[in-house]
């Protein structure tokens, strides 16, 4: 039974992460309530995908057991019960109305909903019948998929962390609002491409420029002033926290917290490249981000500007004594950081959809990445961010040849998808314990 | 130099008179002995000292041009930095791998080049912080004042005495941040004495101190030795070095290049060359 | 516009449970951030430790809720050690990074389907406070108890009266301290404090006959303020002791303290653990009040709001960590009620035909925008907050 619930968890979360199952794109205009309501989804999962079950009766009752209403699922497996107000209530599925031979996969037919947990207007509950079938692909196929996903995540984190790391290196500031710069990118690209109907690539380009300008504006309007006032680094860090609260809530106010997707390339037609099936969307995202990564690396390595940036990041005092205008470098770093974060937001938005807190959720992985790579080192951020991204995805695979050890099943089974970021914290702690300067950092920087 | 007539001063000078004036020479009664200390930063070797000893009850000066590795050596010996290799003993106890606060507890206490007065604590709080073995510094005792009140009173009395001696008593209840640079140096030295050390390491005690205060600082440093402490200090002010030290150790480019009494050092050709190289023509003890 | 309602709800928030929870959390955070200079950005994780310790005691382990507090203690201490060991030897940023990560991951783990049987998934745990409510001296928990005509009898009446007198006195002391800070006077002028308290009490009694709390809430409130008193006293005593002196020294310059033979790592670690355990108690109160704990109550942002409340009051002062959260919640409540009074029935706020706030949830987010702006402004322009020592702050520039 335990096994079963774990698989179910994987199935449910897999689809939640994809963002598409709670709000199916096509059926978004389905019936709704004027007031609060309960939407029950009834699906069969025995074939490995979700088959909606029609004609199943679902009853909603209050805590005392008084029925408040009922409904029967439609062809999409959806039953909607409108209620007068948000109270503690129970949702019961009438198992006798299930199709012949189907039974609920897990748990009770009655689910309890606490009013305090009733946040959205329509509360969605899901029922599944049949035992979840694990993907029929073999281990190696799934590992391959995980690695591909990991590379995608890794590229995003690498892109976003370069700026974070350079800002730290040049100004000493650990910017807790960097995640919001990522979200900014995702949302602006959405506004251009969906709101204004621009083609996607010009939208993305405009977004990257705007992201850079935002970084520049933040430095000019805020951070440069704070540095001039002599505000301490710890205070600056707290200020960055304040900034992240402001930005996050502005995003939530005007964009909402639902996942929205770019309309470009929404129909995924996969083309085959040898053994790999890849959609056009992923292809564009991959090429754009790889080009950006290589361009950043080359700029830092080859150009005068890049060398000066690295010099300031390595040792601000020394660099300014050699005649480098460190304030100018810092402005450039903020522009670069802002535009790269925006690009990361666009790419992430292509992968996972745009959401008000998409960047905030990446922040901790960025920190793990730059700590792994070495705080303040640009290459370190690239490498560290990439490694963390790949590691997070691959950690869900586990090593199946090992036996299940109680408490340590995750070693053989893989970390549950919903907890895949937990190993990143473990990495963070291990690095700090054993090599706090990171893999590419120098020891003198720490302490 | 006529003032150094205390018993310890005479003992130390007599003992050091028998020591050969060469780098790494053995002392009759060494309190601190270091061997093969190396510290590299990236590709640069900041400290590379084969052997050095410090005579007990002496005032030993550590001098050298900028970037000679004096402060780095201080940091290594006091546990604030870790050498790539090397061993050293203090009163016969091995100190490598011993953390900084343990080193201080063993009686080897240091001050810093940039004074570290705790600006938002009052002068008297700064002083009381220096006392070791305080019962009230354990968190479970902190909220039980009766366990530490009597000890606190004794510490406060001792602190007031030292403040009086260092002429800081009028600033007793002011924030340390309101003190002048020289007063901070005095406070830091007095605070170090609160730990009851056997050896005091002073990193540039005269830097940023006005001339009027320098004389009294000199007196205080002599006072430390006359009370039986050993003093090792880094200094640029050659006047002062010549004036109060019993023994001088010279470093350049991370190595020891000379040792000797102040008079021997001022005549030492290697030292003059090292300073010439670094100071472009200024003679070593031009005021001396 | 109903100014009476606005004033009443603002005052209620000033003394309310949200404020109590934040005060306790802020006291813990103050030990770490204010006194020791440790940037704990994951106080939410330690609060969750308390709340889940309590919830799991009844729902998972099946033991009395008292054990829950003990579990909370253990959880918070273990979490603090886990984040402290790798970071406390390093620069201050690392602790911030690791604690923010910890808070996020604790939330992910407790809301996970994988561990649903222990932590209850996204629904959390509920129904564990019955044992606590059984101890309540309130005669009829379903009734409302207020300031006006005292509806209670006997012991409860006296207790309630004493509670309000104490609250009024606390406000009086705070007002006095605020004056004291301005004039640079140390200590408390009791005559002034008692006088101000009496005025506050009289105003409360006269103006707000409706000022009442549900019996169950009142019991949590009384216990909550009791915990506030104990924690505040504890922190106050600790910070006046030599231990607190070492801690403040570490905040200023840890190398200086190390050179005086103090085990800086040990002090930082104990400050981290003490702050975490106090924060844990905030989680316990929060869980007791609704008899319900949900993972999303302990979001990453929670710590930042507590931090804002603390900075508002003034770091490194006990009065600041008490009055800061009270003022924080009063301001939030005021903004909320005020905005909702000027909004139309659908919750839309428009000025001259331009929609400023779409609905009630936009209003909530707008409040948080103000919180963020407030935090930035405070850090930049008034880092000493309401109660911090201006003289002390002026030393920063030197």
pLDDT in tens, A43-98: 877 665 677 888 888 888 887 778 888 888 887 888 888 887 777 888 888 877 88
Residue in B closest to A444 by C-alpha: B41
Tell me which chain A residue has its CA closest to the CA of residue B42: A442
The predicted pLDDT at position B119 comes to 86
**Residue B109 at interface with chain C, using a CB cutoff of 8 Å:** yes
Cβ distance of A360 and C97 shorter than 8 Å? no
CB contact (8 A) between residue C90 and residue A436: yes
Which of these ranges, A92-96, A191-195, A399-403, B203-207, has the smallest mean pLDDT? A399-403
Q: Alpha-carbon distance A142 to A146, whole Å?
A: 6
Strands A78-82 and A37-44: antiparallel
For chain C, list the contacting chains (3+ Cβ pairs, <8 Å).
A, B
Q: Which residue has the higher pLDDT, A178 or C387?
A: A178
The whole-angstrom distance between B187's CA and the closest CA on chain C is 12
**Which of C241, C251, C257 is closest, CB to CB, to B142?**
C241
Per-residue pLDDT at A210 exceeds 50: yes
pLDDT band at A15 (very low <50, low <70, confident <90, very high): very low
- Of the candidates B125, B143, B177, which has its C-beta nearest C238's C-beta? B143
**% of chain A beyond a pLDDT of 90:** 23
Average pLDDT score over residue span C46-57: 91
Chains that touch B (3 or more CB pairs under 8 A): A, C
Q: What is the ipTM of this complex?
A: 0.88
At B260, phi and psi to the nearest 5?
160, 180
The residues in A 13-72 lying below 8 A from C, measured between CB atoms, are 13
Element (H, E) at B250: strand B247-252
C369 with A246: Cβ contact below 8 A: yes
The reply to whether residue B139 touches residue C270, judged by beta carbons under 8 angstroms, is: yes
pLDDT at A22 over 50: no
**Greater model confidence, B286 or C365:** C365
Q: What is the pLDDT of residue A19?
A: 35
Strands B255-260 and B247-252: what pairing?
antiparallel
8-state DSSP, C34: I
Q: How confident is the model at residue C248 (pLDDT cuts 50, 70, 90)?
A: very high
Residue C248 contacts B where some CB pair is shorter than 8 Å: yes
Query: Is the pTM here over 0.90, yes or no?
Result: no
C-alpha span between B188 and C350 (Å, rounded) = 62
| Cβ–Cβ < 8 Å for A181, A211 | yes
Q: Any CB–CB contact under 8 A between C398 and chain B? A: yes
Q: Which pair of structure tokens corresponds to residue A316? A: 């601000």
Whole-angstrom distance, CA of residue A183 vs CA of residue A211: 10
Q: What is the pLDDT of residue A340?
A: 93
Residue C47: per-residue pLDDT: 95
Residues 114-133 on A with a CB inside 8 Å of C are 114, 116-117
pLDDT at position B280, please?
A: 47
Judge whether B100 is closer than 8 Å to chain C, CB to CB.
Answer: yes
Highest averaged pLDDT of the listed ranges A195-199, A317-321, C28-32: C28-32
Residues 6+ apart with CB under 8 A from C373: A242, A246
Instruction: Pick C180 or A261 by higher pLDDT.
Output: A261
For B138, residues 6+ apart whose C-beta sits below 8 A from its C-beta are C243
* Candidate from A135-144, A245-254, C15-24, C222-231 with smallest mean pLDDT: A135-144
How far A377 CA sits from the closest chain B CA (Å)? 16
* pLDDT score for A66: 81
Instruction: Sort strands C144-146 and A122-129 into parallel, antiparallel or unpaired.
Output: unpaired
Mean pLDDT within C162-167: 74
Q: What is the pLDDT of residue C273?
A: 96
From the list C108, C373, C375, the residue facing A241 with the nearest CB is: C375
Percent of chain C's residues with pLDDT above 70: 88
Closest chain A C-alpha to B254 CA, distance in angstroms: 18
Q: Is B44 on the interface with A (CB under 8 A)?
A: no
Contact C243/B at CB under 8 A: yes
A partners (3+ CB pairs within 8 A) are B, C
Asked if C85 lies within 8 A of A433 by C-beta distance, the reply is: yes
Of C11 and A347, the one with more pLDDT: A347
Kindly tell me if the per-residue pLDDT of B175 is higher than 60: yes
Query: Cα dihedral angle (B143, B146, B149, B150), rounded to 10 degrees?
Result: -160
Which residue of A36, A253, A257 to mutate against C (max C Cβ within 10 Å)?
A: A253
Under 8 Å between Cβ of C196 and C175: yes
| CA A350 remoteness from chain centre | 11
CB within 8 Å: C109 and A436:
no
Note whether B116 contacts C253, CB cutoff 8 Å: yes
Task: Give, in order, the Cα–Cα distances in Å from B206 to each of B168, B210, B211.
Answer: 17, 8, 9
Instruction: Lowest mean pLDDT of B191-200, C78-87, C122-131, C168-177, name the range.
Output: C168-177
CA geometry: angle at A415 spanning A411 and A420, to 5°? 140
SS3 content of chain A, % helix, strand, coil (to 5): 55, 10, 30
Task: Give which of C213, C277, C225, C307 is closest to C21, Cα–Cα.
Answer: C225
Mean predicted confidence (pLDDT) in B36-60: 87
Q: What mean pLDDT, rounded, does chain C reach?
A: 84
Residue entry with tokens 């199946």: A400
Closest chain C residue by Cα to residue A236: C379
Residue A390 near chain C (CB below 8 Å): no
Distance between C237 CA and the closest CA of chain B, angstroms = 5
Instruction: Tell me the chain A residues in contact with residue B42 when contact means C-beta distances shorter than 8 Å.
Output: 442, 444
Band (pLDDT 50/70/90 cuts) for residue A241 is very high
C215 in Cβ contact with C140 (< 8 Å): yes
Could you tell me the pLDDT band of residue C186, with boundaries at 50, 70 and 90? low
C241, C257, C259 member nearest B143 (Cβ) = C241
Query: CB–CB of A418 and C108 under 8 A?
Result: yes
The alpha carbon of residue B129 is apart from the nearest alpha carbon of chain C, in Å, by 6
The upper half-sphere exposure of residue B230, i.e. CA atoms within 13 Å in the direction of its Cβ, equals: 20
- Condensed to tens digits (0 to 9), the pLDDT of residues C125-164 reads 888 888 888 887 776 777 777 655 455 555 666 666 677 7
Residue B212 to residue B217: CA distance in whole angstroms: 9
pLDDT at residue C307, rounded to an integer: 94
Task: Write out the two tokens for A196.
Answer: 């204004």
- Tell me the per-residue pLDDT of A415-433, one tens digit each, with 9 for 90 and over: 887 888 888 888 888 888 8
**Pick from A225, A114, B284, B73: nearest CA to C122:** A114
B85 CA: distance to closest CA in chain C (Å)? 22
Reduced to 3 states (helix: H, G, I; strand: E, B; else coil), residue B285 is: coil
Preferred mutation among A35, A123, A245, A437 to probe C, highest tally of C CBs within 10 A: A245
Chain-chain contact of A447 with C90 (C-beta, under 8 angstroms):
yes
What pLDDT score was predicted for residue C157?
A: 60
Between A86 and C56, where is the model more confident?
C56
Residue C76 has what pLDDT?
94
A382 contacts A198 by C-beta, under 8 angstroms:
no
Tens digit of pLDDT for each residue in B184-218?
888 999 999 999 999 999 998 888 788 888 888 88
Beta carbons within 8 Å of C24's beta carbon, 6+ residues apart = C224, C227, C228, C231, C278, C279, C281, C282, C285
B43 touches chain A (CB under 8 A): no
pLDDT (average), residues A235-247: 93
Residue B80 contacts C where some CB pair is shorter than 8 Å: yes
Asked if residue A13 has pLDDT above 50, the reply is: no
CA distance A374 to chain C (A): 12
Which pLDDT band, with edges at 50, 70 and 90, does A299 fall under? confident
pLDDT tens-digit map of C264-316: 999 999 999 999 999 999 999 999 988 888 888 898 889 999 999 999 998 88
Cβ proximity of B200 and B193 under 8 Å: yes
Q: How many CB pairs under 8 A join A and C?
A: 156
Q: Residue B134: pLDDT above 80?
A: yes
Those residues whose C-beta lies under 8 Å from the C-beta of residue C384, and which sit 6 or more positions away, are: C314, C315, C390, C392, C393
Summary mean pLDDT of chain B: 85
Chain B residues lying within 8 Å of C255, measured CB to CB = 80, 100, 112, 116
DSSP, collapsed to helix, strand or coil, labels residue A38 as strand
Interchain CB distance below 8 Å, C396 and A229: no
Q: Does B41 reach chain A within 8 Å, measured CB to CB?
A: yes
Calculate how close chain A gets to C158, using CA atoms only, in Å.
34
In B, which residues are within 8 Å of C257 by CB distance?
Answer: 118, 129
The β-bridge partners of A123 are A38
What token pair was written down for B23?
């780098």
> B136 vs chain C: nearest CA distance in angstroms?
5
Contact B139 C238 (CB under 8 A): yes
Query: Nearest residue on chain A to C100, judged by CA atoms?
Result: A364
Q: Does B42 touch chain A (CB under 8 A)?
A: yes
**Mean pLDDT on C205-228:** 78
Distance from CA of B84 to the nearest CA of A (A): 12
Query: Is the predicted pLDDT of residue C184 greater than 80, yes or no?
Result: no
The answer to which of A15-19, A111-115, B124-128 has the lowest mean pLDDT is A15-19
Residue of B nearest to C271 (CA): B139
Name the DSSP class of A104. Answer: B
Q: Which two tokens stand for residue B5?
A: 């007539």
Mean pLDDT of A129-153: 74
Distance from the Cα of A115 to chain B's closest Cα (Å) equals 43
């Amino acid at each position: 039974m335990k096994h079963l619930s774990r698989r179910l968890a994987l199935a449910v979360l897999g689809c939640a992460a994809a963002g598409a199952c709670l709000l199916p794109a096509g059926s978004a205009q389905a019936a709704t309530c004027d007031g609060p309501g309960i939407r029950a989804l009834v699906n069969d999962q025995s074939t490995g995908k979700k088959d909606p079950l029609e004609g199943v009766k679902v009853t909603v009752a209050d805590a005392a057991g008084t029925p408040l209403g009922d409904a029967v699922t439609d062809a999409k497996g959806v039953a909607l019960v409108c209620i007068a107000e948000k109270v503690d209530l129970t949702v019961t599925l009438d198992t006798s109305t299930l199709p012949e031979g189907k039974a609920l996969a897990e748990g009770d037919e009655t689910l309890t909903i606490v009013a305090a947990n009733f946040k959205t207007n329509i509360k969605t509950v899901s029922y599944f019948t049949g035992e979840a079938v694990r993907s029929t692909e073999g281990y190696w196929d799934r590992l391959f998929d995980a690695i591909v996903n990991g590379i995608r995540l890794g590229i995003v984190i690498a892109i976003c962390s370069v700026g974070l790391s350079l800002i730290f290196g040049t100004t000493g500031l650990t910017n807790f609002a960097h995640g919001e710069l990522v979200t900014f990118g995702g949302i602006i690209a959405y506004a251009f491409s969906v709101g204004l109907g621009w083609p996607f690539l010009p939208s993305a380009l405009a977004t990257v420029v705007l992201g850079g300008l935002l970084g520049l504006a933040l430095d000019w309007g805020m951070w440069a002033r704070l540095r001039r006032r002599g505000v301490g680094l710890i205070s600056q860090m707290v200020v960055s926290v304040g900034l992240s609260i402001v930005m996050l809530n502005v995003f939530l106010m005007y964009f909402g917290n639902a996942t929205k997707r770019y309309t470009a390339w929404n129909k995924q037609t996969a083309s085959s490249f040898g053994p790999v099936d890849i959609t056009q969307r992923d292809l564009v995202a991959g090429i754009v981000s790889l080009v950006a990564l290589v361009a950043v690396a080359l700029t830092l390595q080859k150009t005068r500007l890049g060398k000066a940036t690295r010099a300031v990041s390595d040792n601000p005092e020394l660099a300014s004594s050699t005649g480098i205008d460190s304030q100018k470098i810092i402005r450039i770093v903020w522009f670069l950081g802002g535009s790269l974060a925006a690009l990361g937001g666009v790419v992430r938005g292509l992968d996972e959809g745009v959401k008000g807190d998409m960047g905030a959720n990446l922040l901790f992985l960025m920190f793990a990445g730059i700590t792994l790579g070495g705080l303040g080192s640009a290459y370190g951020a690239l490498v560290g961010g990439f490694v963390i991204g790949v590691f997070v995805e691959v950690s869900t695979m586990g090593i199946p040849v090992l036996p299940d050890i109680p408490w340590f099943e995750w070693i053989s089974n893989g970390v549950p998808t919903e907890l895949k970021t937990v190993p990143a914290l473990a990495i963070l702690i291990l690095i700090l314990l054993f090599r706090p300067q990171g893999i590419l950092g120098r020891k003198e920087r720490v302490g | 130099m006529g003032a150094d007539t205390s018993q310890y001063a005479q003992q130390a000078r007599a003992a050091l008179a028998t020591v050969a004036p060469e780098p790494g020479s053995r002392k009759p009664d060494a309190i601190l002995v270091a061997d093969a200390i190396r510290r590299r930063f990236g590709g640069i070797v900041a400290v590379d000292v084969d052997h050095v000893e410090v005579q007990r009850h002496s005032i030993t000066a550590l001098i050298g041009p900028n970037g000679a590795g004096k402060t780095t050596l201080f940091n290594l010996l006091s546990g604030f930095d870790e050498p790539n290799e090397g061993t050293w003993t203090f009163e016969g106890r091995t100190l490598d791998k011993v953390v900084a606060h343990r080193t201080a507890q063993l009686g080897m206490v240091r001050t810093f080049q940039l004074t570290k007065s705790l600006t938002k604590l009052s002068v008297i709080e700064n002083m009381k912080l220096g006392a070791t073995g305080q019962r009230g510094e354990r968190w479970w005792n902190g909220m039980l004042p009766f366990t530490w009140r009597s000890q606190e009173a004794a510490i406060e009395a001792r602190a007031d005495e030292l403040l009086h001696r260092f002429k800081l008593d009028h600033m007793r209840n002011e924030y340390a941040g309101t003190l002048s640079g020289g007063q901070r140096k005095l406070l830091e030295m007095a605070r170090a004495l609160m730990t009851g050390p056997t050896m005091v390491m002073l990193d540039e005690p005269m830097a940023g101190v006005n001339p009027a205060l320098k004389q009294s600082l000199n007196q205080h440093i002599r006072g430390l030795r006359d009370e039986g402490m050993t003093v090792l200090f880094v200094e640029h002010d050659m006047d002062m070095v010549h004036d109060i030290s019993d023994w001088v150790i010279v470093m350049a480019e991370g190595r020891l290049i000379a040792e000797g009494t102040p008079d021997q050092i001022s005549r030492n050709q290697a030292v003059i060359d090292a300073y010439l190289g670094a100071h472009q023509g200024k003679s070593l003890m031009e005021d001396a | 516009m109903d100014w009476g309602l606005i004033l009443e709800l603002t005052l209620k928030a000033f003394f309310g449970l949200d404020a109590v929870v934040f005060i306790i959390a802020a006291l813990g955070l103050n030990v770490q951030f204010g006194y020791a200079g440790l940037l704990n950005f994951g106080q939410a994780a330690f609060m969750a430790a308390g709340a889940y310790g309590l919830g799991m005691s009844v729902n998972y382990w099946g033991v009395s809720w008292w054990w829950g507090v003990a579990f909370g203690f253990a959880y918070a201490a273990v979490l603090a050690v886990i984040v402290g060991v790798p970071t406390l030897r390093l620069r201050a940023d690392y602790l911030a990074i690791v604690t923010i990560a910890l808070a996020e991951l604790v939330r992910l783990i407790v809301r996970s389907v994988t561990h649903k049987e222990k932590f209850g998934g996204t629904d959390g745990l509920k129904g564990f406070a019955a044992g606590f409510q059984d101890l309540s001296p309130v005669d009829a928990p379903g009734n409302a108890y207020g300031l006006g005509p005292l509806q209670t009898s006997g012991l409860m009446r006296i207790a309630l009266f004493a509670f309000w007198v104490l609250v009024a006195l606390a406000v009086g002391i705070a007002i006095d301290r605020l004056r004291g800070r301005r004039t640079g006077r140390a200590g408390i002028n009791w005559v002034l404090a008692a006088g101000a308290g009496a005025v506050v009490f009289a105003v409360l009694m006269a103006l707000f006959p409706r000022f009442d709390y549900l019996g169950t809430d009142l019991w949590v409130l009384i216990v909550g303020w009791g915990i506030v008193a104990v924690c505040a006293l504890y922190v106050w005593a600790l910070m006046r002791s030599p231990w607190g002196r070492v801690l403040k020294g570490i905040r200023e310059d840890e190398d200086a303290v190390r050179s005086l033979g103090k085990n800086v790592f040990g002090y930082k670690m104990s400050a981290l653990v003490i702050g975490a355990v106090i924060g844990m108690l905030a989680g316990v109160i929060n869980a007791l009040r609704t008899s319900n704990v949900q993972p999303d109550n302990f979001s990453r942002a929670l710590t930042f709001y507590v931090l804002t409340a603390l900075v508002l009051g003034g770091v490194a002062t006990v009065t600041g960590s008490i009055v800061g959260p009270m003022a924080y919640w009063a301001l939030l409540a005021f903004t909320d009620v005020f905005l909702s009074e000027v909004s139309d029935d659908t919750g839309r706020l428009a000025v001259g035909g331009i929609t400023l706030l779409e609905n009630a949830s936009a209003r909530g987010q707008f409040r948080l925008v103000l919180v963020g702006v407030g935090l930035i402004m405070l850090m930049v322009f008034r880092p000493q907050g309401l109660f911090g020592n201006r003289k002390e702050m002026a030393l920063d520039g030197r």
